[in-house]
Amino acid sequence: MAGKMRNCQRCGKVFVQQSNEKICRDCRDAEREMEAKVMEFVRSNPDSKIPDITEGTGAEESLIRRMIDEGRFERSELKSYPCKRCGKEIVAGQYCESCLSEMQENLQTVNAKIAAAAAANAKGKGMHSKTLGKK
Ligand SMILES: [Zn+2]
Ligand SMILES: [Zn+2]
């Protein structure tokens, strides 16, 4: 028989896991209901922000975040929401411009380090290729 017992990540109740769901059926139904509520709220209140939605629907911010990540909202339905990193109001993606460029820079630094390390490694290997074989 498929399915193992596990605790629901949302309510803590033990349920039989069929695939890889992390929450029980009750919670999933509740979440679906909440999602529908959020969609309805956003449709009838265009230009909503996350705090408006949480207040208007009682939905968790994390749920709304997930819906944003999943691209559930039209641009016109949700005008702005906070940047995941600094909280500044943004209209697209998950981060504001400054966080994006900052992260881009960080990424470039990391990439440069990796490239440098790889180059050094390759160089080292080349230099010791004869001795490496003996090890
Ligand atoms: Zn549950
Ligand atoms: Zn930001």
Distance of CA 134 to the CA centre of its chain: 47
pLDDT tens readout for residues 18-66: 888 889 999 999 999 999 999 999 888 877 888 889 999 999 988 988 8
Q: What is the mean pLDDT of the chain?
A: 84
14: helix, coil or strand? strand
The domain segmentation of the chain, as residue ranges, is 25-95, 96-135
Cα–Cα distance, 86 to 19 (Å, whole number): 35
Give the CATH number of domain 25-95; options: 1.20.1740, 3.40.50, 1.10.1060, 1.10.10. Answer: 1.10.10
Q: Which ligand is nearest to the CA of 23?
A: 1
Q: In this structure, which long-range contacts are made by residues 33-40, counting pairs with CB atoms below 8 Å and at least 24 apart in sequence? A: 34/58, 34/59, 34/60, 34/63, 35/59, 35/63, 35/67, 35/72, 38/63, 38/64, 38/67, 39/72
Kindly give the distance from the C-alpha atom of residue 29 to the centroid of ligand 2, in angstroms, as a whole number: 33
Q: Which ligand is nearest to the CA of 94?
A: 2
- The pTM for the full model equals 0.55
Distances (CA, A) of 57 to 78, 84, 121: 15, 21, 55
How confident is residue 15, by pLDDT bands cut at 50, 70 and 90? very high
Structure tokens at 61: 């911010």
Q: Which residues surround the ion ligand 2 when the cut-off is CB under 5 Å?
A: 83, 85-86, 88, 96, 99
